[in-house]
Amino acid sequence: MDADPTPPLDQAAEARRRLAAHTAPPASFWALQAVGCTLVAGLPIWMSLLSLESRHLQWILVVVAVAAAGLSWARRRRTGVTLPRWASAYPSARRPRVVVLIVTVLGLIAIHTLVGRGQEGLALAVLGPVALTSLCGYLWVQTAMRRDIEDGRVRA
């Protein structure tokens, strides 16, 4: 092939860029994600305030899982694209995912401990930064995933 190899490479890069832009979550996704982060991170507070017993926790988690699956289905239907779900598919997103998981778990433990000591007010004050940090973490994960799609690093 004597032709210039740049146009086909540019064509491939442009296709990947379009896919990355097309699959970027809309603003409504981030709004729902913010609500979800607040609800999940604040579970110990809500359970204490609403006097829910620990047996109700499994049902709350079922509702959260069903809502997450519904959101994922709606996103697939809207975009016409099924992205790989497992973390190993996006090499750049691995570290952000681990950080988000650690921050969320530590935040949950801190809130749970405060509620256990009867300091619901302080727990509510901690909830905001914890939920915001989780949300920023998800944004970081999405940015890394988008970069992997654009650079052709996704492993399906």
What residues line the site for another protein (CB under 8 A)? 1, 4-6, 8-9, 11-16, 18-20, 22-23, 77, 79-84, 148-149, 152, 154, 156
Closer residue to another protein in complex, CB, 43/149? 149
Asked if 75 and 25 count as a contact pair (C-beta separation under 8 A), the reply is: yes
Residue 152: what are its φ and ψ, rounded to 5°? Answer: 70, 35
Rounded to the nearest whole angstrom, what is the least distance from the CB of residue 57 to another protein in the complex?
Answer: 32
Q: How far is the CB of 97 from another protein (least distance, A)?
A: 18
Least Å from the CB of residue 85 to another protein: 8
Tokens of 101: 């998981």
Q: Which residues contact 41 (CB under 8 A, 6 or more apart)?
A: 104, 107, 108, 111, 127, 130, 131, 134
The first and second tokens of residue 37, run together, are: 């982060």
CA atoms within a 13 Å half-sphere pointing along the CA-CB vector of 100? 19
Nearer to another protein, 20 or 34 (CB): 20
Tell me which amino acid residue 71 is.
Answer: L
| Shorter beta-carbon distance to another protein: residue 56 or 78 | 78
Report in angstroms how near the CB of residue 134 gets to another protein at its nearest. Answer: 26
CA distance 107 to 126: 8
User: Judged by CB, which is closer to another protein: 6, or 51?
Assistant: 6
Q: How far is the CB of 139 from another protein (least distance, A)?
A: 19
CA distance 14 to 16: 5
CB closer to another protein, 3 vs 27: 3
